[in-house]
């Protein structure tokens, strides 16, 4: 390989070089490890780096490539968000509670990527238990944005977004409960895909809000997202919400043709007070799709304004139940005390950070006797209304186009004092989780040197159309999203 | 929606999260602020609307009761903070 360093390749570029014998997985992995060594002191995108194991995996991948048994991801270095279980490698959720937790089993996505021959270089930093939008809630350290290290990478999957942007991995996996893949992808200038709820198994993903959580890829372009999704998607008997459905080959959906696609632009996603640069970049992106032959129609999703309340009742309620398992008895942090009840309260006082406690408290309140009907039950009903509103929109439109986030990356510390201002970062991404539909954030250029994301949403299991449009847009717009770092 | 200090203490007790009086006060103010944001939901007409528990549409997933190899006992106990022989050790439940 001449010119660009191997760590800067996309998956499909690296695949071509690996298969042509111009590059080995060991060279590629060594290049990525050197890049990690160079930029990690600034970025801090990793909780754990698994360099030695990665080189062993790369050697095995090279054997497999030489034997002519390579798949699309064989020999490709990746990172995993640190809430995805990896057998023998600690999985912390960036929490004191799980600081020393070493899973005895792999998540289904981990196992699938292992059998595909991908090379794990480490585990990505995140907001504790995936609760946050800036990665400042990590109990260990914040991650920095590769486009400006004084700014946040977004969250909760800030480590994966920063790592892929900066060349510390060719791809990463994150989880998206209310925007935790798409919002950091937008802020770091990479592609982030949240698949349809149930398309990718959640087995081995540390649970936050089980009816909203979904795993998906961070990549440098849309073709890579399609390649990774094809490896991840598929029914898993270990996840009872997993969809049993004939999985398509997503890469073959990327025809470049969006002529005749009808794309709705909901006016509620362009509120007053949004960063003016964000709106113009996103509107310019939508114009690009129009120029490619898509039909663009302004429309309305009036219940969008209720998504924030629905999300912040349902997600904390499910979290308060899911996180009840952290009792200091079976695994995880365990505080010293005389009796079981004292030890339980102290373990959770010392093991959880402020945002996690806030969500457990909110959820406990919303589920408690006397308030259940007014909060949780009401939110579940409004959730149905929001789902129906999307279903109705998709009877008329193939896709919806919106900004991913109302703002570009903000400075560290700018929103930590006010939880509600932090929650508002996800107002455009939460509705897709509430409805369970797929959505992607694709780079739409920069404003003052900081990336902006265009979000496309599709109906249930509409990933092929979603990826086709995102891919056509990406090729036509041809934005340079390389970070300054 | 202004929560009282007593209410927040009760929620912390239910959630089994230990908190100092200072933490309770911060939590009271922040939770009150967040709950205020939820008021708008009461204005949505949900008469006759079904609830959504999860969005994938699959229900009552069952499989045949066939045994398979799971974790070994030592794997399952490998992260337990206190063990005694083959058991997880807990602290006294009753005084």
Q: How many CB pairs under 8 A join A and B?
A: 172
Return the pLDDT at B58.
Answer: 79
**E strand or H helix at A47:** strand A46-49
Tell which of B5, B78, B91 to mutate to test the A interface (max A CBs under 10 Å).
B91
Q: Tell me the β-bridge partners of A79.
A: A122, A172
Q: List, for residues A292-338, the tens digit of each pLDDT value.
A: 999 999 999 999 999 999 999 999 999 999 999 999 999 999 999 99
Q: Tokens in use for A414?
A: 């700018």
What pLDDT, on the 0 to 100 scale, is given for residue B95?
Answer: 66
Kindly give, in sequence order, each residue whose CB lies less than 8 Å from that of residue A91, ignoring residues fewer than 6 positions away: A82, A83, A84, A85, A98, A101, A102, A103, A123, A206
Question: What is the total count of domains within chain A?
Answer: 1
B68 at A interface, C-beta within 8 A: no
Q: Which of B14, B23, B55 to mutate to test the interface with A (most CBs of A within 10 A)?
A: B55
Tell me, yes or no, if A90 comes closer than 8 A to chain B by beta carbon.
no
Residues of chain B with pLDDT > 70, as a percent, come to 99
Query: How many Cα atoms occupy the beta-carbon half-sphere of A146 within 13 Å?
Result: 28
Record: contact A340-B91, CB cut-off 8 A? yes
Residue B81 contacts A where some CB pair is shorter than 8 Å = yes
Q: Catalytic residue among A81, A123, A194, A415, which?
A: A81
Confidence of residue A446 (pLDDT cuts 50, 70, 90): very high
Interface of B with A in 5-64 (CB under 8 A): 8, 11-12, 14-19, 23, 27, 30-31, 33-35, 37-38, 40-42, 44, 46, 49-58, 61, 63
**Percent of chain A topping pLDDT 90:** 94
Mean confidence (pLDDT) of chain A? 96
Q: How far is A353 from chain B (nearest CA, A)?
A: 11
Query: Is the CB of B91 inside 8 Å of chain A's CB atoms?
Result: yes
Asked if the C-beta of A337 comes within 8 angstroms of chain B's C-beta atoms, the answer is yes
Q: Is A165 a catalytic residue?
A: no
Lowest mean pLDDT among A28-32, A259-263, A422-426, A441-445: A422-426
How confident is residue B92, by pLDDT bands cut at 50, 70 and 90?
confident
Contact A330 B31 (CB under 8 A): no
Would the pLDDT of A405 be above 90? yes
Cβ-defined contact of B55 to A197 (cutoff 8 Å): yes
- CA-nearest residue of chain A to B71? A104
Cβ(A409)–Cβ(A151) below 8 Å: yes
Q: How far is the alpha carbon of A309 from chain B, nearest alpha carbon, in Å?
A: 5
Q: DSSP letters along B21-40, please?
A: HHHHHHHHHHHHHHHHHTGG
C-alpha distance from B67 to closest chain A C-alpha (Å)? 14
A466 domain-assigned: yes
- Whether A2 sits among the annotated catalytic residues: the reply is no
Q: Does B82 touch chain A (CB under 8 A)?
A: yes
- The predicted-structure confidence for A68-111, as pLDDT tens digits, reads as follows 999 999 999 999 999 999 999 999 999 999 999 999 999 999 99
The closest CB to that of A361, out of B18, B31, B80, belongs to B31
Distance from CA of B8 to the nearest CA of A (A): 8
**Closest-CA residue to A394 (of A465, A289, A305, A454):** A465
Q: What is the DSSP letter of A205?
A: B
Contact flag B80-A306 (C-beta cutoff 8 Å): no
Q: For A132-183, write each residue's pLDDT tens digit.
A: 999 999 999 999 999 999 999 999 999 999 999 999 999 999 999 999 999 9
Q: What mean pLDDT is predicted for residues A52-67?
A: 98
Among the options A25, A31, A156, A230, which is catalytic?
Answer: A156
- Residue A11 within a domain: yes
**Residue B92 is nearest to which of A339, A345, A358, comparing CB atoms?**
A339
Report chain B residues whose CB lies below 8 A from the CB of A344.
16
Give the whole-angstrom CA distance, residue A453 versus residue A440. Answer: 9
Range(s) of the domain holding residue A143 = 6-264+397-477
The residue assigned the tokens 């299991």 is A461
Residue A8 corresponds to which tokens in the numbers above?
């800067």
Whether A372 is covered by a domain: the verdict is: no
Nearest to A362 among B14, B34, B46 (CB): B34
Asked if the C-beta of A340 comes within 8 angstroms of chain B's C-beta atoms, the answer is yes
Tell me the whole-structure pTM to 2 decimals. Answer: 0.97
Q: How confident is the model at residue A1 (pLDDT cuts 50, 70, 90)?
A: very low
B56 vs A105, A198, A338: nearest CB: A198
The yes-or-no answer on residue A180 being catalytic is yes
Residue A270 in tokens: 């362009």
Residues of B whose CB is below 8 A from A196: 56
Residues 6+ apart with CB under 8 A from B46: A378, A381, A382, A385
pLDDT of A219-257, one tens digit each? 999 999 999 999 999 999 999 999 998 889 999 999 999
Residue B18: its chain A contacts at CB < 8 A? 345-346, 348-350
A241 vs B54: CB contact, 8 Å cut-off?
Answer: yes
Length of chain B, please? 95
- Which residues of chain A does B53 touch, with a Cβ-Cβ cutoff of 8 Å? 211, 380
CATH of the domain at A176: 3.90.1300.10
Domain B5-42 = CATH 1.20.120:
no
The minimum CA-CA distance between B9 and chain A, rounded to whole Å, is: 10
What pLDDT shows up at residue A4? 81
- Alpha-carbon distance of A419 to A247, in angstroms, equals 39
Provide the pLDDT for residue A221: 98
ipTM greater than cut 0.90? yes
- Domain residue extents for chain B: 5-42
Cα atoms in the Cβ-side hemisphere of radius 13 Å centred on A170: 30
| Tokens encoding A173 | 């996996």
């Amino acid at each position: 390989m001449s010119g660009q360093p191997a760590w800067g390749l996309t998956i499909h570029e690296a695949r071509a070089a690996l298969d042509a014998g111009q590059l080995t997985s060991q060279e590629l992995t060594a290049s990525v490890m050197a890049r990690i060594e160079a930029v990690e002191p600034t970025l801090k995108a990793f909780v754990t780096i698994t360099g030695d194991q990665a080189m062993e995996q790369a050697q095995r991948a090279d054997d497999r490539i030489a034997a002519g048994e390579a798949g699309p991801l064989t020999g490709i270095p990746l990172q995993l968000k640190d809430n995805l279980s990896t057998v023998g490698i600690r999985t912390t959720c960036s929490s004191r509670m799980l600081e020393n937790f070493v899973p005895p089993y792999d998540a289904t996505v981990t196992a699938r990527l292992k059998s595909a021959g991908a090379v794990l270089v480490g585990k990505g930093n995140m907001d504790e238990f995936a609760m946050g939008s800036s990665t400042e809630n990590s109990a260990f350290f914040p991650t920095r944005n590769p486009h400006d290290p004084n700014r946040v990478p977004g969250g909760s999957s800030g480590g994966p977004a920063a790592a892929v942007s900066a060349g510390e991995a060719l791809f990463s996996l994150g989880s998206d409960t209310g925007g935790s893949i798409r919002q950091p992808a937008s802020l770091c200038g990479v592609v982030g895909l949240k698949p349809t709820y149930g398309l990718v198994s959640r087995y081995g993903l540390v649970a936050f809000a089980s009816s909203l959580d979904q795993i998906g890829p961070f990549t440098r372009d849309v073709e890579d997202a399609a390649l990774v999704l094809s490896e991840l998607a598929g029914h898993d008997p270990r996840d009872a919400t997993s969809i049993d459905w004939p999985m398509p080959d997503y890469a073959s959906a990327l025809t470049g043709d969006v002529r005749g696609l009808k794309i709705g632009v909901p006016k509620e996603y362009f509120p007053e007070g949004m960063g003016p640069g964000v709106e113009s970049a996103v509107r310019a992106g939508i114009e690009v799709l129009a120029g490619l032959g898509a039909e663009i129609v302004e429309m309305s999703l009036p219940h969008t304004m209720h998504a924030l309340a629905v999300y912040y009742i349902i997600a904390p309620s499910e979290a308060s139940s899911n996180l009840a398992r952290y009792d200091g008895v079976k695994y995880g942090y365990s505080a010293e005390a005389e009796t079981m009840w004292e030890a339980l309260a102290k373990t959770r006082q010392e093991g959880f950070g402020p945002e996690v406690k806030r969500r457990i408290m909110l959820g406990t309140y919303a589920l408690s006797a006397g308030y259940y009907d007014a909060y949780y039950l009401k939110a579940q009903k409004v959730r149905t209304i929001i789902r129906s509103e999307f279903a109705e929109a998709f009877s008329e439109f193939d896709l919806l186009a919106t900004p991913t986030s109302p703002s570009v990356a903000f400075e560290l510390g700018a929103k930590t004092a006010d939880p509600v201002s932090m929650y508002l970062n996800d107002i455009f991404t939460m509705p897709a989780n509430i409805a369970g539909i797929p959505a992607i954030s694709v780079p739409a250029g920069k404003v003052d040197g900081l990336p902006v994301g265009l979000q496309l949403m599709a109906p249930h299991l509409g990933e092929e159309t979603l990826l086709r449009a995102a891919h056509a847009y990406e090729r036509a717009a041809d934005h340079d999203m390389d970070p300054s770092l | 929606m202004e929560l009282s200090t007593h209410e927040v203490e009760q929620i912390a007790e239910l959630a089994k999260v230990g908190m100092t009086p200072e933490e309770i006060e911060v939590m009271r103010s922040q939770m009150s602020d967040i709950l205020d944001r939820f008021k708008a939901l009461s204005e949505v007409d949900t008469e006759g609307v079904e609830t959504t528990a999860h969005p994938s549409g699959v229900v009552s997933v069952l499989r045949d009761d066939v045994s398979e190899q799971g974790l070994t006992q030592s794997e399952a106990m490998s992260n337990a903070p206190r063990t005694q022989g083959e058991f997880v050790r807990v602290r006294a439940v009753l005084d």
